[in-house]
Amino acid sequence: MPEGLEADKRGYLLEDFRLFCLKDTSTKSLEYHYHEFDKIILLLGGRVTYMVEGVTYFLRPWDLLLVPRSQIHRAVIDPAEPYERMVLWLGREWLDRRSDPDEPLSLCFDLARSRGFHLLRTAEERRPLYLRRFQELEEALRSQEYGARRMADICCQRLVLEVDRDSRRDRTAEREKDAYRADPKIEEILRYIAGNLDRTLTVDALAERFFLSRYYLMHRFKEVTGYSVHQYISQKRLLLAGELLRQGTPVMKAAEQAGFGDYSAFLRAFRATFHASPRDFQPRRREGREEPPLL
């Protein structure tokens, strides 16, 4: 990401979930971005490398990539081969409504976030099942028959449950070193940042805490993640503030909990990133607001 640019939000999910079946023969370069929904990608063909929160994944056909909401990511696609995949967008409110006590439907995304690992490499015997689940959902979404909407909802739940179950029991990809590349020190720093956004997080403070030189930290962080330390922390604080606001947290308290000491600087950064006022994110404000179009 060029210096001075932030990750962009890409796409709006106006439904509970949305399925895309895509095949590209020519692709454009994608910058780092994030979504306000969770995303599952099933790779069917092509050569693609995904960077998610500082970890680089080298995908193979039938791999599932789990991208939780607000996690910054980017795809690098080899145009020599057609890039074919199925992509499922999932609204967190829908996932919450369809969850049972102590059994969240969002489990696969929660595990990906807590583990810092987003790749699920499906066993060969499970591949026909996943393809069938995606096809069932696609057919239900296209159907005009009675009850098609409810059938699509059920199909989507079944698909996500399969991913949840495999996420719990299968961590094979984490043992395959050719499946991904990560820097353990940068991973440690990213985990620390995620858990301490309300604290002072300067380059100097991080370098001292992790016994690195200031220059090395800045250089290596940008090399591994694609963005500067300051950009990353600012973006994560803004995303946290957005989530707090959606939960009903007052604006000033949300800014404080997200680590913004200067309220006016928070307002400027928030408007520049989300193209909206923080008050627009609060529940009562959002209920009557017209949603922007899907990009």
pLDDT at 154 over 90: yes
Q: What is the residue whose two structure tokens read 């590209």? A: 24
Q: What is the residue whose two structure tokens read 């985990």? A: 191
Q: How far apart are CA 242 and CA 254, in angstroms?
A: 8
Give the three-class secondary structure for 183: coil
> Which tops the pLDDT comparison, 44 or 178?
44
Q: pLDDT at position 1, please? A: 35
pLDDT at 129 over 90: yes
pLDDT at 52 over 90: yes
Superfamily of domain 184-287: Homeodomain-like (1.10.10.60)
CATH 2.60.120.280, the chain: domain bounds: 8-175
Q: What is the 3-state secondary structure of 74-135? A: EEEECCCCCEEEEEEEECHHHHHHCCECCECCCHHHHHHHHHCCCEEECCHHHHHHHHHHHH
pLDDT bracket for residue 4 (50, 70, 90): very low
**pLDDT, mean of residues 158-168:** 97
Q: pLDDT at position 202, please? A: 93
CATH 1.10.10.60, the chain: domain bounds: 184-287
pLDDT bracket for residue 152 (50, 70, 90): very high
Burial of 34 (0-12, 13-18, 19+ CB in 10 A): buried
Distances (CA, A) of 243 to 116, 239, 240, 257: 20, 6, 5, 11
Q: What is the mean pLDDT of the chain?
A: 88
Domain 8-175 has CATH 2.30.110.10: no
pLDDT bracket for residue 289 (50, 70, 90): very low
Return the sign of the alpha-carbon dihedral for residues 180, 125, 18, 135. positive
Contact yes or no for 47/78 (Cβ under 8 A): yes
Q: How far apart are CA 31 and CA 72, in angstroms?
A: 10
Q: Which residues contact 138 (CB under 8 A, 6 or more apart)?
A: 19, 21, 86
Q: pLDDT at position 29, please? A: 60
Q: pLDDT at position 2, please? A: 34
pLDDT at 199 over 60: yes
Contact yes or no for 22/144 (Cβ under 8 A): no
**Which one, of 191, 285, 202, lies nearest residue 242 by Cα?**
285
The token duo for 240 is 């946290």
6-15, 68-77, 228-237, range with the lowest pLDDT: 6-15
pLDDT at 252 over 80: yes
| Strand duo 33-34 + 8-9: pairing | parallel
Q: pLDDT at position 11, please? A: 63
In single-letter form, the type of residue at position 209 comes to: R
Rank 75-79, 82-86, 168-172, 287-291 by mean pLDDT and report only the highest.
82-86
Q: pLDDT at position 130, please? A: 96
Q: How far apart are CA 78 and CA 58, in angstroms?
A: 12
Q: pLDDT at position 156, please? A: 98
Q: pLDDT at position 7, please? A: 53
The token duo for 226 is 């694609």
Return the sign of the alpha-carbon dihedral for residues 169, 172, 174, 179. negative
Q: pLDDT at position 140, please? A: 97
